[in-house]
């Protein structure tokens, strides 16, 4: 009997816009992940927009925790 591949875990830090474009990557297998992967958003207190989601990678079955950060301002304009 063949053994089932063991699933791993990974944390992904990205902003919402790059996640929507599919630019985020699975830390285990480097496959692009995005909204097509079916993330489950964790409800935040106060009913605001969720900043945390979980999903499984379609290639390596790793359980991913996605933390949405605020987009960073460009450092080119700072003096």
Mean pLDDT by 10 residues, the chain (79 residues): 74 92 91 91 83 90 91 57
pLDDT at site 46: 78
Distance CA 61, CA 9 (A): 9
Distance CA 23, CA 13 (A): 11
pLDDT at site 45: 80
User: Does 48 reside within a domain?
Assistant: yes
Sign of the four-CA dihedral 21, 26, 31, 36: negative
Contact 37, 47 (CB under 8 A): no
Distance, C-alpha 7 to centroid of its chain: 16
Q: Token pair 């987009």 is at which residue?
A: 71
> pTM value?
0.73
Structural domain range at position 38: 21-70
pLDDT at site 65: 94
The number of folded domains in the chain is 1
User: Does 39 reside within a domain?
Assistant: yes
pLDDT at site 5: 65
């Amino acid at each position: 009997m063949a053994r089932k591949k063991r699933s791993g875990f990974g944390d992904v830090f990205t902003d919402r816009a790059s996640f929507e474009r599919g630019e985020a990557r699975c830390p285990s297998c480097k496959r692009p992940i995005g909204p097509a992967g079916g993330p489950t958003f964790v409800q935040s207190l106060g009913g605001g927009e969720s900043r945390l989601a979980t999903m499984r990678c379609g290639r390596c079955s790793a359980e991913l925790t996605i933390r949405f950060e605020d987009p960073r301002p460009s450092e080119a304009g700072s003096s």
